[in-house]
Amino acid sequence: MEKLYADVIIDIAHEKLDRPFQYRIPESMRDTLEEGQCVSVPFGAGNKLRKGYVVAVRNTPDWDVEKIKDIAGPAPQGVSIEEKQIRLAAFLKRNYGSTMIQAMKTVLPARQSVRPLEKKSVRLLQDEEQAFKTMEICLKKHQTAKARLLRELLEFASLPYPLVTGKLHISPSTIKALEQQGIVAVEKESRYRNPVRLKVRQDERKTLSREQALIVDTVLKDFDSGSRDVYLLHGITGSGKTEVYVCLIEEILKRGRQAIVLIPEIALTYQTLIRFYSRFGEQVSVLNSSLSMGEKYDQCQRAKNGEIQVIIGPRSALFTPFPNIGLIVIDEEHEGSYKSENSPKYHARETAEEVARLHGASLVLGSATPSLEAYYRAMRGEYRLFTLKERLTGGSLPAVSVVDMREELRQGNRSIFSRKLQELMADRLEKKQQIMLFLNRRGYAGFISCRACGHVMKCPHCDVSLSEHRGGRLICHYCGYEEPAVRVCPQCGSRYISGFRAGTQQIEEKLKELYPEASVLRMDADTTKSKDGYERILSAFSAGEADVLIGTQMIVKGHDFPNVTLVGVLAADLSLSAGDYRAGERTFSLLTQAVGRAGRGSLPGEAVIQTYQPEHYSVVHAAAQDYEGFYEEEILYRELLRYPPVCNMMAVQIFAAGEERGKELAEKLAELAESYGNEEKEMSKRLLVIGPAPAAIGKLYDIFRFVFYVKYEKYDKLVEIKDALEERAALLFSAKETLQIDFNPVNVF
Ligand code: ADP
Ligand code: ZN
Ligand code: ZN
């Protein structure tokens, strides 16, 4: 075929331009032009030069040749896109609804070529004995950063510079000071060295437990026989999942393939990274949001050239342009951060299945509290389920007490701490053991509950909690149901009915009133504003610099604190009432993780869960650390109300400048959706349209927001409806009005 014409997607994200435009390929480019290449083309009436990507090459034109313009040339600094990535972009566009250019940008982590960067590492110049002495001197002088770096260098003689300044948060000036003293050297190399261990440890290669070996063997046997599957590893923290990933990666690399490991950004700690660095050295690279465009580009180039074989990072690491991926791992697969908040609103798990299909790779998911989606698929035989039951580091699961806060009120205790928790806190402070207080504020959306009986104001149609709006009106964000403000509890008549308003700061104050001598660290949005604020607080607590750590959901992930023997969960049910169908799942997961924080070391742990709904199944099963029990009840609820994963659900949001206009557009589109497929005879299989209703944030920057939901069993049908809605919107909507679609949303709108 002669390469004469090219279809080009222009780099402008507008629905009206969301199609390829055809260009003539100039003589000079005919031999070299390929699909995916980034080119410069004249566009529009003014023939302004625009960047675009070639998505198809043809030898006959589809248009009047007179009207076809010439490609101007390769785009300066343009990065071309691999064929598999184009197919992946098409998948994103089709399944999640976005323009092709948005989808292409999503799969291209670095869109501009930049000069490759130098790799630097920090190497210890002193021998072990000297370095140990230096560290002790630093400690005496309270030079904690220097001491911390030396402690790590005593283990690994050489460490990648970005790991030191990033995850260890040692400032460049500290490194420079040590360099000037002749204690360390900063070396520039063309690539990272393997972090070299000073002491060769006996336990470096662990013998896998029977359970672990079974998983590794099964996945590899399948792989070698050509069958590709999805495997779900269900195991508590410390049960050896990471060890399984590492072994699998080693084997996959031996087979000449590459591996992608997704870990939520919050869990990308120094401890985790060093484990991969020390096993894979220069073959591994880490992606995270703080990398510059240059660094991202550099990594993509190294992945393409085969200089690295393993990448670790949050969801966007999925798009690393490896030539031949053999394994994808998603750790903590239940995490909400695997769902993109920007268009295309893809889910990393589903997208990973597609990447695995494109490359012929195996997919391994791991979690202590699997998402309902993953577990449901495992129960239906779509995923292979493995359960890791033991904690390999020793330490026992904590003893959990559930405290009924209604009873506390009845007994005259108005404090935010129950008597049980106060008693245990006093004991731990006395013993100099550490305490974590976790305030569950996840998804907090102004719901109303009764402190006397625990009753929560809910929508009679959707079984989610109602949200308090100005003047006290209560509104359901799914269907728009509304009722007036409540003064007394409809269940028990008590006047103690209101929203929960305590924050981490108040908890800190109350704690200081009770125990003035206790030292307290607080972690919330305020104290973690600065870069690294999060890790700094965690490592201070880890180093024993405080007795108590107070925080929101941020503190339940990542780090291990061996000296923590008491975890207090305040307001466990706050997240239960978050006004969306995933509230129970999220609560179970958070409570399980929080409780699991106690007793990681040699000392046994205890946990206290304070709640107004002690009988709720999420609380009961979390206290018993019983995932299966929780799953059975939760899936019944999803079946009954036809929520995902039993059904598929599409959220359709409409943004408009006028309230009436927005409502009208939403109603028109909802009607169109409704006109689709009610031919199903069985009620339980029919297409359901819920709403439209004002969104949770009904008005933002003077733009009114409406939302409706479409539930249907078959995903493909929803995609078909999405296409129809988009088509209709293109006709009805003015330039300032927008439509946004989200499949199986993680958050409520
Ligand atoms: P998870 O990823 O499930 O939290 P890890 O793989 O991190 O679990 O394992 C927890 C701890 O147990 C780690 O310190 C790890 O080094 C250790 N470990 C894992 N597998 C084994 C094994 N087969 N033998 C001994 N120790 C192990
Ligand atoms: Zn009540
Ligand atoms: Zn409702």
Q: Tens digit of pLDDT for each residue in 11-22?
A: 887 777 788 899
pLDDT of residue 117: 58
* DSSP H stretches of helix in 79-202: 83-96, 100-107, 128-140, 144-155, 161-165, 172-180
| Residue 459 CA, ligand 3 centroid: distance in Å | 5
Across the range 420-439, mean pLDDT stands at 94
Please tell me if the CB atom of residue 393 comes closer than 6 angstroms to any atom of ligand 1.
yes
Please tell me if the CB atom of residue 212 comes closer than 6 angstroms to any atom of ligand 1.
yes
> For 446-459, what is each residue's pLDDT tens digit?
678 888 888 888 88
Most confident of 79-83, 150-154, 186-190, 527-531: 150-154
Please tell me if the CB atom of residue 560 comes closer than 6 angstroms to any atom of ligand 1.
no
Q: Ligand 1 pocket test: pick from 215, 242, 390, 556 the residue with the most ligand atoms within 8 Å of its Cβ.
A: 242
pLDDT of residue 544: 84
Which atom of ligand 1 is nearest to 392's Cα? Answer: 12
Contact 194, 282 (CB under 8 A): yes
Q: What percent of the chain has pLDDT over 70?
A: 90
Closest residue by CA, ligand 1 atom 6:
240
Which atom of ligand 1 is nearest to 331's Cα? Answer: 2
Q: Band the pLDDT of 200: cuts 50, 70, 90.
A: very low
Closest residue by CA, ligand 1 atom 16:
243
Which atom of ligand 1 is nearest to 207's Cα? Answer: 23
| Residue 494 CA, ligand 2 centroid: distance in Å | 5
Task: Kindly report whether the peptide bond that precedes residue 109 is cis, defined as omega within 30 degrees of 0.
Answer: no
Q: How far apart are CA 344 and CA 358, in angstroms?
A: 19
The pLDDT of residue 256 is above 90: yes
HSE toward the beta carbon, residue 670, CA cutoff 13 A:
20
The pLDDT of residue 485 is above 90: no
* DSSP H stretches of helix in 321-462: 348-359, 372-379, 405-410, 419-431
pLDDT of residue 578: 59
Contacts of 417 (CB under 8 A, 6+ apart): 425, 510, 511, 514, 568, 570, 610
Q: How far apart are CA 281 and CA 196, in angstroms?
A: 9
pLDDT of residue 440: 73
Across the range 248-260, mean pLDDT stands at 96
> For 30-43, what is each residue's pLDDT tens digit?
888 888 888 899 98
Average pLDDT taken over every residue of the chain: 86
pLDDT of residue 331: 96
Please tell me if the CB atom of residue 243 comes closer than 6 angstroms to any atom of ligand 1.
yes
pLDDT of residue 577: 64
| Residue 531 CA, ligand 2 centroid: distance in Å | 44
Residue 537: which H helix or E strand, with range?
helix 533-542
Please tell me if the CB atom of residue 111 comes closer than 6 angstroms to any atom of ligand 1.
no
pLDDT of residue 470: 67
| Residue 380 CA, ligand 1 centroid: distance in Å | 29
Q: Residue 161 carries which side chain, given as an amino acid letter?
A: Y
Strand partners, 235: 388
> Which range has the worst mean pLDDT, 2-6, 223-227, 321-325, 635-639?
2-6
Please tell me if the CB atom of residue 320 comes closer than 6 angstroms to any atom of ligand 1.
no
C-alpha separations of 314 from 327, 338, 377 in Å: 16, 8, 23
Query: What pTM was estimated for this model as a whole?
Result: 0.84
| Residue 411 CA, ligand 2 centroid: distance in Å | 16
Closest residue by CA, ligand 1 atom 9:
240
Q: How far apart are CA 532 and CA 538, in angstroms?
A: 10
Alpha-carbon torsion angle 403, 405, 408, 412, nearest 10: 170
Q: Ligand 1 pocket test: pick from 369, 392, 597 the residue with the most ligand atoms within 8 Å of its Cβ.
A: 392
Closest residue by CA, ligand 1 atom 8:
240
Contact 443, 586 (CB under 8 A): yes
Domains defined for the chain, CATH in brackets: 5-107 (3.40.1440.60), 117-191 (no CATH), 210-388 (3.40.50.300), 399-444+500-638 (3.40.50.300), 648-743 (3.30.70.600)
pLDDT of residue 202: 43
Strand partners, 607: 400, 567
pLDDT of residue 498: 78
Please tell me if the CB atom of residue 267 comes closer than 6 angstroms to any atom of ligand 1.
no
Helix 128-140 and helix 144-155: axis angle, to 10°? Answer: 160
pLDDT of residue 396: 73
pLDDT of residue 692: 92
The pLDDT of residue 441 is above 80: no
| Residue 472 CA, ligand 2 centroid: distance in Å | 17
HSE toward the beta carbon, residue 126, CA cutoff 13 A:
19
Contact 366, 299 (CB under 8 A): no
Q: How far apart are CA 286 and CA 163, in angstroms?
A: 9
pLDDT of residue 443: 42
Closest residue by CA, ligand 1 atom 5:
240
